[in-house]
Structure 1
């Protein structure tokens, strides 16, 4: 159904990181695990670029999309047709509620994506006010995201595009270059992740009245 293509396009940013290095042990290896996020970080944060909301509780991080997706009526192809306020798939019999405004179709999209929940497979650590979200990636390796809050602005950073040659000066890299064996003594790596990781669009903290 068309909705599948809409969702795939809308959430492309979540899966378009390309080569994602994984890490041998949760970072920073010298810091203890935390059981919860601090109270000053908890709340809802708005990304004005895509209208997504990042929600942080005492033990989890969730990203929610809630917006209207607009596209031209003649773009739905021959497999779909619209009757009244519903779009139908001729072959699967699936249907979706839409609004038709002239030649434009408006479809409401709602998607809640769990990003992190503290557990033995999701380890939270802190270094100089930055929070390291270590997620077990199926085997024995970990995928890392750094969460930072400064003056009411929340940012997410990953290690996806850090120069491999730069990492070689701070970590031992496996021959397949997909995972890094991190020496716990090499604490400068923490700073590299904070300064040079990919910076996602900033999130501004929402107050109780939604602003």
Structure 2
């Protein structure tokens, strides 16, 4: 069933790779570094987010993220396409139904779904560089979105490029004028190394490793 309009906007904020990337690169980064064919065994496993609303699972070829949390909305915010009937929300466009918990003037529904964040393919490649793993996801027209992955003391860190600060760093490194709207960059290996050293990928989320028998 389709989620309520207001709740859908709330859920979207949880997605790691659910929108247009802040920046892309003309080739997988870092350039001139050999790609890995799979995720190393030390990275493989399950990791839970700090708010415990999602779990990342890493296998040899795949990274998925399972979301599992409750969303609370005021009854007036479910959208004109939906109707509350007892403890059920009915989508009036297609007749589908979803059970909810009703409390006073609010409703609570349980959100649970799985997203594929990264899959190793001929175009989506992993590169290891300076202790980090870089996930290069093909975006189209010789453009790759890149995320930084690291694991230290059981904590998995996933870094992405921020819209403002990291773009300014990339412009400075590539000597791109600040008055341009550039979001696509061509970096040498040395320039990429400089970007990482300047704390690029500043949007970061952390996850704690979970023992399999504890899941």
| TM-score, normalized by the shorter chain, greater than 0.5 | yes
Deviation at 1:131, TM superposition (A): 0.4
Out of 37, 56, 59, the residue aligned to residue 54 of structure 1 is 56
Q: Partners in 2 of 1:77 and 1:23 — Cα distance? A: 39
Check 1:109–1:205 CA distance in 2 against 1; reply closer, same or farther (3 A cut). same
Q: Partners in 1 of 2:138 and 2:18 — Cα distance? A: 19
Out of 18, 22, 46, the residue aligned to residue 20 of structure 1 is 22
Residue 7 of structure 1: aligned partner: 8
8 Å CA contact 1:25–1:141 kept in 2: the answer is yes
Per mean C-alpha deviation after superposition, the further-off stretch among 155-164 and 122-131 is: 155-164
Residue 113 of structure 1: aligned partner: 115
Residue 130 of structure 1: aligned partner: 132
Check 1:5–1:139 CA distance in 2 against 1; reply closer, same or farther (3 A cut). farther
1:90-109 equivalences in 2 (<5 Å): 90-109=92-111
Residue 188 of structure 1: aligned partner: 193
- Root mean square deviation of aligned Cα: 2.7
Q: Partners in 2 of 1:79 and 1:176 — Cα distance? A: 38
Check 1:173–1:111 CA distance in 2 against 1; reply closer, same or farther (3 A cut). farther
Residue 80 of structure 1: aligned partner: 82
SS of equivalent to 1:38: coil
Map Cα deviations across residues 10-58 of structure 1 (whole Å, 9 max, x no partner).
Answer: 1224368776111011111131000111111111111132611111111
- Structure 1: 5+ residue stretches without partners: none
Check 1:171–1:177 CA distance in 2 against 1; reply closer, same or farther (3 A cut). same
SS of equivalent to 2:4: helix
Deviation at 1:66, TM superposition (A): 1.1
Residue 170 of structure 2: aligned partner: 167
- Structure 2: 5+ residue stretches without partners: none
Q: How many residues align?
A: 210
